[in-house]
Amino acid sequence: MKDSSEFNLLGKDYLTEAEAAHYCCVSLSHFQQSTDTLAEAGVRARRNLGKKVFLRAELSRMIENAPTWFPVVVATGPRMFNGQTPNFESLVDPLGNLTNARLRPYVPRKKRTETPS
């Protein structure tokens, strides 16, 4: 596969499979395994002179219609989880795992004895 600096996508309307994977910012193998996702998004592979090519506009539309990575949340106090403030009152001891106490009593390991040969 070409190095990412070797792809020249300027002015191209149709991209090869490797160029389309680079355009979508995924590896070629991941792009090849995502045929169901591509079909659901309306991206169709076309055959041109024995090569598989993709229309750049369809790939661009697929990326633009993709869901956002994380919902945009403005934190205004305690750390926000999925847009909701966690209920800290329901926790008995929020720092319980940070106390300076052993979880179980210390038991020394047995010394290994050498077996005579």
Which strands form 51-55's sheet, in the order they lie side by side?
A: 14-16, 51-55, 45-48
Amino acid 19: pLDDT: 92
Per-residue pLDDT of the chain (117 residues; tens, 9 = 90+): 566 567 788 888 999 999 999 999 999 999 999 888 888 889 999 999 999 999 999 999 999 988 877 665 555 555 555 556 666 565 556 566 677 777 788 888 888 777 766
Amino acid 79: pLDDT: 53
Q: Is 3 exposed, middle or buried (0-12, 13-18, 19+ CB in 10 A)?
A: exposed
Say how far apart CA 92 and CA 78 lie, in whole Å: 17
Length of the chain: 117
Instruction: Walk me through the domains of the chain, giving residue ranges and CATH numbers.
Output: 4-64 (1.10.1660)
Amino acid 105: pLDDT: 86
Cα 68 from chain centroid (whole Å): 12
